A and B are shown apart, each in its own frame.
Chain A
């Protein structure tokens, strides 16, 4: 049976456009608001990534860190992330959802218990930032057993040989980090070069979907239309920060932002 994630990509391909993946942090800026944001942006997003906060992140840029600290300051607990997904999945517009975070949270909760909770809540995929291949083999298997896509990351530093092995072991979705950066960095490589690298990697196994993330904003997203999917995270987290600063409703602000992003890729 095809995963909901794969089905979402198929739908986008039929519409001849890349999938739009959003990333927001669970509990930012409150549990209630973060759920409302998810429901609202699902009008335009194809897949939603939801970050579960960890207070010693080693690959997040300042925007996502701000979101994380806001959520934690509001008393966010890991169980809230599962609750948010569960409630989100009941909503009318619900899209496939990928939880993303750091291994310490999984380890501390217990791998088995974590994956089981994900399954119960309706999580479709998982990204664990600091659990690279091959250390993730066992955990990826556990995910697969529970019909959860374990998303493998590939970066500009990943050697060709390593890529082949990662892709061989990967499920139906891989994530290409566009450049050497934490999340939310300014795009320091031209989209053309990123896409060239992207298609080189795609050739290893065309049947697996691959999204591009890091440095994607409403200014750059239009240049990547040929990819299977694009992830926008930091720009949205910044949108929440800005709306709080300007006393606007982050739900409305994010809905508008995601609408603009979507319009740029159709």
Chain B
């Protein structure tokens, strides 16, 4: 089992949709076999279609705004006194996070499939917000499934979703977070797959959704590669790319151009949500060695109890608060191409605090986990090391949580 060179990682699955022979697949109800098959065929056709690609690139450039900025965090670097720290400001993207890339592709596919409605899940609310934006742009009806716990804690994004004319469907089952939102969204699709297009908001779900999402977010690393060459004249030879991992969509996008490099040359570090320091609950199936489980159509490392029930997770960041993760990250973990670790809620908050005090940026609590790892390792490295953190979301959505936790929220 290893990463093949020269082939996009999303395409390195077998005929049944498994990466490394065991991660991923298509564990879905019979009813969804055909819609998934149709979508797979449509996507295969569109990704080769020059017109489709041009339309997408135009949207990425003019609607999302590309490239998103890349610059050095000089104050943070000086403060920590070690490796040089850079940020890739994916939060510059229209809407404030990387979720816009995947949403655009899904809206385009929805149009191509001649469907008038689109549905999706959301945790942090960013995916829901982006789907509501593109739905409005493309003239599609849009339903966003969201756990009631997340509706409470991510109000700014909920307001945006509603303002765009999309409907938020509150999900009250289970832990009332992303996991339940995804289940409910899939259930809705089972009942309405003839009229409605479903977009899953991360690099998870049945194989085709993993592929569409990875194909879309890959824009991030295409930009980064050019920006690295512009800044350093070449790809630096001690480079570390740090990204938070919930489902793993931004991490895949951030890394996709760099899998073929030696890991000593470019180290890929994924940071999962460790949850509150004193809690047993977490959302870190990769770093805490969870067993493989089947959730939302795919086999992946998954937080579960001894009986196979999916366990509750806990994290201050809704976007990382998910018990499973992408089959692609499971594969990257097993082949040793990426390293996965955790940051606790406390570490994420203090990273947020430090970064916002020193720099003119304001990452959301998801990338705050990535900054926490950067802050941990930078002082131990010398300045020949380049750390790039994907600041994949803007903190505005976390306004209330941050205010409650740190006393104030200043933008």
Q: Which stretch from B69-77, B191-199, B369-377 is at the chain A interface?
A: B191-199
| Nearest B-chain residue to A109, judged by Cβ | B308
B308-A105 in contact (CB<8A): yes
A108-B308 in contact (CB<8A): yes
Task: Report chain B residues within 8 Å CB of A60.
Answer: 187
Taking the nearest CB of chain A, how far is it from the CB of B172, in angstroms? Answer: 10
Q: Does residue B31 face the partner (Cβ distance < 8 Å to A)?
A: yes
| Nearest A-chain residue to B38, judged by Cβ | A157
Q: Does residue A191 face the partner (Cβ distance < 8 Å to B)?
A: no
A132-B307 in contact (CB<8A): no
B293's partner among A107, A135, A153, A154 (CB-CB below 8 A) is: A107
Which residues between 126 and 179 of chain A lie within 8 Å of chain B, taking CB atoms?
A: 129-133, 135, 153-159, 162, 177
B296-A56 in contact (CB<8A): yes
Q: Does residue A58 face the partner (Cβ distance < 8 Å to B)?
A: yes
Q: Does residue A209 face the partner (Cβ distance < 8 Å to B)?
A: no
**Contact flag A56-B297 (CB < 8 Å), given A177-B30, A181-B190:** no
Taking the nearest CB of chain B, how far is it from the CB of A186, in angstroms? Answer: 10
A56-B174 in contact (CB<8A): yes
A135-B308 in contact (CB<8A): no
Task: Report chain B residues within 8 Å CB of A177.
Answer: 30-31
B29-A59 in contact (CB<8A): yes
Q: Does residue B62 face the partner (Cβ distance < 8 Å to A)?
A: no
Q: Does residue A103 face the partner (Cβ distance < 8 Å to B)?
A: yes
Q: Does residue A72 face the partner (Cβ distance < 8 Å to B)?
A: yes
Taking residues whose C-beta sits less than 8 angstroms from the other chain, chain A's interface range is: 35 or more
| Nearest B-chain residue to A61, judged by Cβ | B187
A105 to B295, CA, bound (A): 10
A130 to B61, CA, bound (A): 40
Taking the nearest CB of chain A, how far is it from the CB of B185, in angstroms? Answer: 9
B192-A180 in contact (CB<8A): yes
Taking the nearest CB of chain A, how far is it from the CB of B54, in angstroms? Answer: 33
A108-B293 in contact (CB<8A): yes
**Contact flag A182-B190 (CB < 8 Å), given A107-B299, A109-B308, A135-B27:** yes
Q: Does residue B179 face the partner (Cβ distance < 8 Å to A)?
A: yes
Task: Report chain A residues within 8 Å CB of B187.
Answer: 57-61, 182
A104-B34 in contact (CB<8A): no
A154-B30 in contact (CB<8A): yes
B183-A107 in contact (CB<8A): no
Which residues between 277 and 300 of chain B lie within 8 Å of chain A, taking CB atoms?
A: 291-297, 299
A192 to B153, CA, bound (A): 48
**Contact flag A104-B308 (CB < 8 Å), given A55-B174, A56-B183, A60-B187:** yes
Task: Report chain A residues within 8 Å CB of B308.
Answer: 54, 78, 104-105, 107-109
Q: Does residue B262 face the partner (Cβ distance < 8 Å to A)?
A: no
B293-A59 in contact (CB<8A): no
| Nearest A-chain residue to B323, judged by Cβ | A56
A103-B34 in contact (CB<8A): no
Number of B residues whose C-beta is below 8 Å from A?
Answer: 37
Q: Does residue A77 face the partner (Cβ distance < 8 Å to B)?
A: yes
Q: Does residue B162 face the partner (Cβ distance < 8 Å to A)?
A: no
Q: Mark B169-207, 1 if CB is under 8 A from A, else 0.
A: 000011000011001001100111110000000000000
Q: Does residue A69 face the partner (Cβ distance < 8 Å to B)?
A: yes
A130-B297 in contact (CB<8A): yes
A102-B31 in contact (CB<8A): no
B25-A132 in contact (CB<8A): no
B27-A130 in contact (CB<8A): yes
Q: Does residue A42 face the partner (Cβ distance < 8 Å to B)?
A: no
Task: Report chain A residues within 8 Å CB of B194.
Answer: 157, 180
A102-B294 in contact (CB<8A): yes
Taking the nearest CB of chain A, how far is it from the CB of B209, in angstroms? Answer: 13
B307's partner among A65, A78, A153 (CB-CB below 8 A) is: A78
A108-B291 in contact (CB<8A): yes
A181 to B16, CA, bound (A): 25
Q: Does residue A185 face the partner (Cβ distance < 8 Å to B)?
A: yes
Q: Mark B17-33, 1 if CB is under 8 A from A, else 0.
A: 00000000111111111
B173's partner among A69, A133, A155, A158 (CB-CB below 8 A) is: A69
A180 to B29, CA, bound (A): 11
Taking the nearest CB of chain B, how far is it from the CB of A169, in angstroms? Answer: 13
A108 to B303, CA, bound (A): 12
A131 to B299, CA, bound (A): 12
A70 to B25, CA, bound (A): 30
Which residues between 303 and 318 of chain B lie within 8 Å of chain A, taking CB atoms?
A: 304, 307-310
A182 to B29, CA, bound (A): 10
| Nearest B-chain residue to A152, judged by Cβ | B30
Task: Report chain A residues within 8 Å CB of B236.
Answer: none
A77 to B305, CA, bound (A): 11
Taking the nearest CB of chain B, how far is it from the CB of A7, in angstroms? Answer: 26
B297-A65 in contact (CB<8A): no
B35-A157 in contact (CB<8A): yes
**Contact flag A135-B16 (CB < 8 Å), given A107-B294, A180-B31:** yes
A154 to B29, CA, bound (A): 10
Taking the nearest CB of chain B, how far is it from the CB of A45, in angstroms? Answer: 24
Task: Report chain B residues within 8 Å CB of A180.
Answer: 31, 190-194
A103-B33 in contact (CB<8A): no
Task: Report chain A residues within 8 Å CB of B291.
Answer: 108
Q: Mark B22-52, 1 if CB is under 8 A from A, else 0.
A: 0001111111111100000000000000000
14 contacts between A and B (CB under 8 A): A55-B309, A56-B295, A59-B31, A61-B187, A65-B173, A69-B173, A69-B174, A104-B295, A105-B308, A107-B293, A108-B307, A135-B25, A155-B33, A157-B35
Those 3 A-B pairs whose CB atoms lie nearest each other, nearest first: A108-B308, A157-B34, A155-B31
